[in-house]
């Protein structure tokens, strides 16, 4: 990866923890090179000021669509990720093409993450990533439960449940400074 460009893009800071974010992009790049994908399509659910866009566009040469419920984050598609109208807008932009990298980082409630995965994963045949798979894992009573969905996904892979057998799971996590964690599901 072009580290000089990466360092330059780190200001203003994206809503990502540097070591995890850097390795995530490195792994995406390795994957795209391996599969000879030159212009990947990246969809980000929950795009927080759309600051990750420039990384995808400039480092991975991607076509990026950010979806967010808040206009203040300047998303490409404004609305709730579960709203059928939002899905329709995305499908229009995709024009029948599949997503290469899907980054799920909208609502962090267990049920919402699960629904995002169920709605959007059929549109992606490559990499599906989840942000915050480690956040609040050891703190009881918090609503952020992406970790619960991630663990469930892992159990399904372990059991060899139909539809989960070919998935490769990669998790990236550094405690100090962020305690967020990125989980990657590599389909192919």
Partner 1 sequence: MNEKLYDKLMLHRPSQQQPEWHLFLQLCEWYLEKHKIEKPIVVELGCLRSKQRRFYEQLFGAEYISIDIRPNGNPTILGNSHDPNVMKSLKKKLRGRLIDILFIDAGHLYHEVKRDFEYYAPLCNGIIAVHDIEQPVKVRCDVKFFWHELKEWSQRPRSKYGDALFISLHQYRYQTWERRVGIGVIIQR
Q: Establish if 160 lies at the interface with partner 1 (CB under 8 A).
A: yes
Which sign, positive or negative, has the C-alpha torsion 91, 148, 133, 152?
A: negative
- CA distances, 146 to each of 35, 66, 80, 114 (Å): 29, 20, 18, 9
Give the nearer residue to partner 1 in terms of CB position, either 91 or 175: 175
Q: Cβ(66)–Cβ(47) under 8 Å?
A: yes
User: Is the CB of residue 134 less than 8 Å from the CB of residue 173?
Assistant: yes
What the block records as the tokens of 169 is 């799971």
Helix or strand run (H / E) with residue 152: helix 146-159
Distances from the Cα of 114 to the Cα of 62, 83, 134, 152, angstroms:
26, 15, 16, 10
Q: 181 near 135, Cβ under 8 Å?
A: yes
- Residue (85 or 165) nearer to partner 1, CB: 165
Residue 164, interface with partner 1 (CB under 8 A)?
A: yes
Instruction: Tell which one of 10, 26, 93, 94 touches partner 1 (CB under 8 A).
Output: 26
User: Would you count residue 12 as binding partner 1 (CB under 8 A)?
Assistant: no
Residue 19 in the binding site for partner 1 (CB under 8 A): yes
Output 65 or 147, the one with its CB closest to partner 1. 147
Positions 37 through 96 that interact with partner 1 (CB under 8 A)? none
Calculate helix-pair angle for 146-159, 110-120, nearest 10 degrees. Answer: 50
Write the binding mask 129 to 148 for partner 1: x where contact by CB under 8 A, - elsewhere.
---------x----------
Minimum CB separation of residue 116 from partner 1 in Å reads: 22
Binding span for partner 1 by CB under 8 A among 53-61, 73-81, 85-93, 176-184: 176-184
Is the CB of 78 or the CB of 157 nearer to partner 1? 157
Site of interaction with partner 1 (CB under 8 A): 19-20, 23, 26, 30, 34, 138, 154, 157-158, 160, 164-177, 179
């Amino acid at each position: 990866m072009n580290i000089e460009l990466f360092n330059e893009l780190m200001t203003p800071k994206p809503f990502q923890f540097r070591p995890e974010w850097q390795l995530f992009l490195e792994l995406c790049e390795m994957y795209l090179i391996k599969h000879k994908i030159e212009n990947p399509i990246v969809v980000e659910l929950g795009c927080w000021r759309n600051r990750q866009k420039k990384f995808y566009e400039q480092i991975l040469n991607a076509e990026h669509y950010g979806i967010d419920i808040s206009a203040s984050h300047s998303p490409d598609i404004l609305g709730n990720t579960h709203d059928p109208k939002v899905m329709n807008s995305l499908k229009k932009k995709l024009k029948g093409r599949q997503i290469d990298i899907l980054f799920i980082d909208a609502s962090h409630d267990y049920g919402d993450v699960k629904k995002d995965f169920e709605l959007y994963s059929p549109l992606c045949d490559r990499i599906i990533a989840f942000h915050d798979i480690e956040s609040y894992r050891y703190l009881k009573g918090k609503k952020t439960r992406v970790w619960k969905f991630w663990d469930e996904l892992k159990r399904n892979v372990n059991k060899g449940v139909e539809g989960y057998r070919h998935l490769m799971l990669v998790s990236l996590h550094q405690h100090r400074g962020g305690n967020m964690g990125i989980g990657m599901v590599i389909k192919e």
